[in-house]
Amino acid sequence: MTPIIEKKELSLGIKSLTLLSPLISKKSKPGQFVVLRVSEKGERIPLTIADADSKKGTIKIVFQEVGKTTKELGKLAIGDHILDLVGPLGTPSDINLFGRVIVVAGGVGIAEAYPIAKALKKQGNKVVTILGARNKDLLTMTGEMRHVSDDLFITTDDGSVGRKGLVTDQLKELLEKGMNVDRIITIGPAIMMKAVSDITKRFRISTVASLNPIMIDATGMCGACRVSIGGETKFACVDGPEFDAHKVDFDQLLSRLDMYKNSEKISDHKCRLVND
């Protein structure tokens, strides 16, 4: 049982919880994630470690309430406990001195990208950040991100803040203007990462995407998370979640993410019937 010691509502439907877990906070590295289960009958879901403080023994998770489990999680309060928490999982991000790095993050992916951007900055890289969301209310952690970026751009679909348009519009503009870029990291919805990858492929800039397939154990035991990387099947939970974006079969990832769409609707619906 893991206690919740802090809770924040970051933006519309995006919340953060700080959990006391000395074991995980001590081992956690940027790019890694945890798997948690809220209740006895609950599902195991993966969430990125958005920050870790080994001195206090805490980790932070940031999540968007999209379905049954994330909504259940959102209902918990300070002092409540999370039934099962395991981690840190996945291979850590490659944090090196690359030169100039662009971090392209969308939606809740912004929170997931934060520890990576922070580590890259600390390593001495020039960090350029492009953040995107549907509208102003869905944007998170811009303050923290600004703090670790040399340059920061914001785009929203409706133009409620920053540039009106998609992250890829901003990215394309920077690259077309001839910005010298050594590496690109993209985290967010699979469809966004696919679009980013398509652009950077044209500009031949090495790009890393943090993939988010459906997972169960997240220890390499079930194969639910398998992704195609350059024609080879990999398990995102142990071999990733970060992969060379130009080798990722995004269409397969997208179709595999839709596998349980109908079931999830039933589950979420039933859950609301019970709770309301």
Binding stretches for another protein (CB under 8 A): 23-24, 27, 37, 41-44, 68-69, 83-89, 216-217, 219-224, 226-228, 233, 238, 251-252, 255-256, 258-260, 263-264, 266-267, 270-271
Cβ 23 to another protein shortest distance, Å:
5
Q: Which is nearer to ligand FAD, 34 or 101 (CB)?
A: 34
Residue 87 interacts with, from another protein, ligand FES, ligand FAD, none (CB under 5-8 Å by kind): another protein
Contacts (Cβ under 8 Å, ≥6 apart) of 9: 15
Q: If phi over 0 gives left and psi between -120 and 50 gives alpha, with beta otherwise, what is residue 270?
A: alpha
Q: Where are the alpha helices (DSSP H) in 19-134?
A: 22-27, 68-75, 109-122
Closest to ligand FAD by CB, 116 vs 130, is 116
> By C-beta, is 180 or 263 nearer to another protein?
263
> Applying CB under 6 A, which residues contact ligand FES?
215-218, 220-225, 235, 237
Contact between 208 and 243 (Cβ < 8 Å): yes
Omega before residue 241 within 30° of 0, cis: yes
Do the Cβ atoms of 107 and 133 come closer than 8 Å? Answer: yes
Write out the residues near ligand FAD by the rule CB under 6 A. 33, 43, 45-48, 62-64, 66-70, 108, 111-112, 212-215, 241, 257-258, 261, 264, 268
Rounded Cα gap, residues 74 and 157, in angstroms: 25
